[in-house]
Each structure stands twice: as C-alpha cells, then as structure tokens.
Structure 1
Amino acid sequence: MTAEPREFRRILGHYPTGVCAITAIGEDGRPVGLVVGSFTSVSLDPMLVAFFPDKSSTTWPRVEAAGRFCVNVLADSQQAVCSALSAKGEDKFAGLDFALSALGSPIIHGALAWIDCELDTVHEAGDHYIVLGRVRGLDVHHEGSPLIFHKGGYGKILPL
C-alpha cells in the first residue's frame, strides 16, 4: 500500500499536537518567529530539544542565522499569537508583548513555559529540517492549559 500525502496528512491529523512559537532576534535586530506543532524533548544529558520547520519557511533561515532561539509553549488563550506568528509578512510581532531571555530571544508574555536554546545541529528530513537545540535556560511562566492543534483546528485540554 502506498499512501498519498493528502491521506497521510488527514490520518496524522487525528494525533493532537501542542503549539509552540519559536522566536529569535534576527540579524537586523528585529524579533522573528514561527509556529510549530512538531516540538519534542530529545535528551536529558545533554539537555536537547527538537523542532521541525518546513524547508519552505521564510522565517526559519532568520532563526538559524541567529544561532539561538526560544521555544514558547503557547497557552490555550493564545490562538491570536499563533495566528500573528503564522502570518506572512515582516512585522509578526506587532502588538505582541515579550521580554528577552538571557540569550536574547523573545519570551512571549502569556506563554505557559519557555525554553532558551543555542542552535546545536540541523539535519535535512524530506521537506522539513530537524533542528536540535541545546537548552541553556527554561522556566514556567504560569500554570494553565496548552494550545492544541487537532484535525485542522485549535482546542484545549478540558479538566477532568
């Protein structure tokens, strides 16, 4: 059996993913960011995380050039942040509040948690890259529920 890309995407849409914003300061000194639903922890020793940007992303090269980035775990109330950082254009951060991490990457206000990383390695993987980040700092901003992507839409975890 050979699966078609459209069917592959439909089937994998049944698996919910968290939504993270990857942020950095570009070479021009302006904040840059992209949204990923493919983020994972990789190793405890050394502490490594990974995400998978699309090769067609126009933002990823700017994050890569920075050599560092911050993973912002978006809260279920931050769908507007997700939309802003997913949009095409130069000023994705218009109206977004953030502070700078110790490495100088944007930590988005209201994110549940953040993970400050130095770029470790990048591998090609089909139409995406596998980006490994070496964790240099992390914290929980506040308690809450994460923004979830499932079957083409956004949702949240309901309390038991």
Structure 2
Amino acid sequence: MTPPGGIDPAVFRRAAGCFATGVSIVAAEDEQGMRVGVTANSFVSVSLEPPLVSVALARSLVSMPVFERASHFAISVLAEGDETLAARFASRGADKWSETACERGLGGAPLIEGAVATFECERYAMHDGGDHHILLGRVIGLSCASSRRPLIFHGGAFARLAALEQRQGA
C-alpha cells in the first residue's frame, strides 16, 4: 500500500539498498553495566571539526532507552568474515554478548575486538528521524586496522570489495 506522499516503503527500501554501505555494531552500556548493541549500516562521518559521526537507530529497538540515556557509545566497523556477528546483533532476543569478544572503551561503551575500526563517542545530540533517532557522537577515541577489509552490505545481502583486492595487488 502506497502511503500519502506516493512512495511505497518496499520500493524505497529496495532503492536505498542499491547504495553499498559498511556494516557496524553500535553499542552502549547502561547504568548497571548491562551492554546493548545493534547492527547498523547507517553510520557516517559528519564533521572533522569537531570530529562528529552519526548513526540512525530504529525507535522500535528494545535497547533504545539505553541509547537515549547513554553519555557514551561506540561504533565498531565489522570486517569480512563477521557476517554471523552482524546477523546476531541484528536479531531481537539473541544472546549478543556471550560469544562476542569485546573490551570496555571510554565511558564504558563496548568495543568489538577485531573490528576494522572503532569510534568511541560521547553523545553530542539526538534528533528525530521519522521512525529512527539520529544519534550524533563526538569522537573521543578511535582505532583503525587498515589491514582488514570491511564487511559490505548491498542489495539486502553481505558483499565483498573485489575492487579493493585489485587496488592492493597493483
């Protein structure tokens, strides 16, 4: 059913899926030390001065109250081979942390070990984004393992960067 305004949500989702993205896990910790995390492909750098990043989080997330209150959060960019990890963090009700190697970052936010990059953030702002919240973070710590290739999502499925292989071999 096409809503008022004329854009069918299924067609919109399919068109948005034509844009290849990286895959990340956004994580935070509540006041009692309980970790929460969710797979996201909506991560983007926003500003260099100050260093800001954003991620869109569905309002319907069970863990949304933690993200709404958290002073800090982390974004871990996943690597090729992390498809199972990405799927586990995308699932509701899954035991996300028992088999996930992580360390406690700045402000308590969990950092996924083996990530291509991590961005440790203090909350900068949260804005309305329709059925999502747009969470902005000021980057206060980061790491980058440039030897690992990122996990890619395109057209509703995980993909690999063949062009990167060609560049590295040249």
Deviations 1:95-129 (A, max 9, x none): 11111113321111111110000111111011111
TM-score (structure 2 length as normaliser): 0.88
Instruction: Name which of 13, 36, 39 aligns with 2:40.
Output: 36
* Cα distance between partner residues in 1 of 2:92 and 2:6: 33
* Cα distance between partner residues in 1 of 2:151 and 2:64: 22
For 1:76, the aligned partner's letter is: E
Deviations 1:63-91 (A, max 9, x none): 23222101100001111111121121263
Aligned CA-pair RMSD: 1.5
* Cα distance between partner residues in 1 of 2:33 and 2:135: 22
Q: Is the 8 A contact 1:51 1:130 kept in 2?
A: yes
TM-score (structure 1 length as normaliser): 0.93
Q: Is the 8 A contact 1:64 1:119 kept in 2?
A: no
Structure 1 residues 2-151: aligned runs within 5 Å:
2-89=6-93, 91-141=95-145, 143-151=147-155
* Cα distance between partner residues in 2 of 1:4 and 1:90: 30
Q: Is the 8 A contact 2:72 2:106 kept in 1?
A: no
Specify every segment of 5 or more residues in structure 1 that has no aligned partner in the other structure, as ranges: none
* Cα distance between partner residues in 2 of 1:58 and 1:97: 22
Deviations 1:26-54 (A, max 9, x none): 22212210111101001111111000011
Q: Is the 8 A contact 2:88 2:94 kept in 1?
A: no
Q: Percent identity?
A: 36
Specify every segment of 5 or more residues in structure 2 that has no aligned partner in the other structure, as ranges: none
Helix, strand or coil at the partner of 1:103: helix
Q: Structure 1 runs of 4+ off > 2 angstroms?
A: none
Q: Is the 8 A contact 1:110 1:142 kept in 2?
A: no
For 2:125, the aligned partner's letter is: T
Q: Is the 8 A contact 1:105 1:116 kept in 2?
A: yes
* Cα distance between partner residues in 1 of 2:15 and 2:36: 31
